[in-house]
């Protein structure tokens, strides 16, 4: 075999360790969150993530001792990105109706950009963990529950300020708004997503207009 035909030597262990060291913890968990938004949290294991990131398993074990630790760290990374993308801006709006509108607008923008390639991380991963017990499911569902409580509280503030009709049920309105916004995440193509985002925006405006006018009765 001529020298030019020889296969390239495999990377040495020292070169691989140097490559692993260049990847920070944040870059690893953010890459994991992107993958999970498309494929679900069950797709995340030490082995599969090491292969995707071209890292050694030992390099990942230095950060995460188990699949569960990796998945929990991924959920936390996604939470931080969601807070930065949605809540940090929306919660600066004045209390009441303006804040409801900001929360809805920033949520739809978060799906439209998208922050994650699979749309809303928590909508995309919730289906895969719903039927199993454990800390990973609890972490995913806790984030969805938090946003629902926050939106409900904001709706109640608007109602107290008389910006919404007295008959409005905050729980019901929060549920309907979230259902509409979550639906846009399930679009199968980028083209469909744009249409669905337009539909979602119109549906949100319709729900809020009716709530102002008192056309939504308490269940």
8 DSSP 8-state letter: P
| 13 vs 26: which has the higher pLDDT | 26
* pLDDT tens digits, 39-69: 889 888 888 888 888 888 888 888 888 889 9
| Of 137, 26, 25, residue with least CA distance to 80 | 26
Query: Where are the domains positioned within the chain?
Result: 72-213
Chain-centroid distance, C-alpha 137: 14
205 in helix, strand or coil? helix
pLDDT band (50, 70, 90) for residue 23: low
pTM of this prediction?
A: 0.80
* CATH annotation of 72-213: 1.10.357.10
How much is the mean pLDDT over the chain? 84
How many residues in the chain? 219
Task: Give the whole-angstrom CA distance, residue 27 versus residue 22.
Answer: 10
C-beta of residue 104 within 8 angstroms of C-beta of residue 165: no
Cα separation, 2 vs 133, whole angstroms: 58
């Amino acid at each position: 075999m001529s020298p030019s035909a020889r296969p390239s030597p495999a990377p040495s262990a020292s070169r691989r360790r140097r490559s692993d060291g260049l990847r920070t913890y944040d870059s690893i968990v953010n890459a994991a969150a992107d993958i999970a938004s498309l494929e679900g949290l069950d797709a995340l294991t030490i082995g599969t993530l090491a292969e995707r990131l071209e890292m050694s398993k030992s390099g990942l074990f230095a950060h995460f001792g188990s699949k569960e630790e990796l998945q929990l760290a991924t959920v936390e990374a996604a939470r931080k990105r969601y807070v930065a993308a949605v809540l940090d801006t929306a919660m600066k709006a004045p209390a009441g109706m303006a804040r409801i509108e900001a929360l809805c607008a920033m949520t739809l923008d978060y799906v439209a950009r998208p922050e994650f390639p699979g749309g809303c991380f928590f909508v995309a991963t919730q289906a895969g963990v719903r039927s199993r017990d454990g800390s990973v499911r609890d972490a995913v569902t806790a984030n969805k529950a938090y946003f629902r409580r926050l939106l409900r509280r904001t709706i109640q503030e608007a109602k107290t300020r008389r910006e919404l009709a007295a008959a409005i049920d905050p729980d019901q309105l929060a549920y309907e708004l979230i259902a509409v916004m979550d639906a846009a995440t399930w679009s199968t193509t980028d083209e469909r997503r744009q249409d669905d985002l337009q539909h979602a925006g119109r549906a949100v405006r319709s729900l809020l207009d009716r709530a102002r006018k008192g056309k939504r009765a308490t269940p």
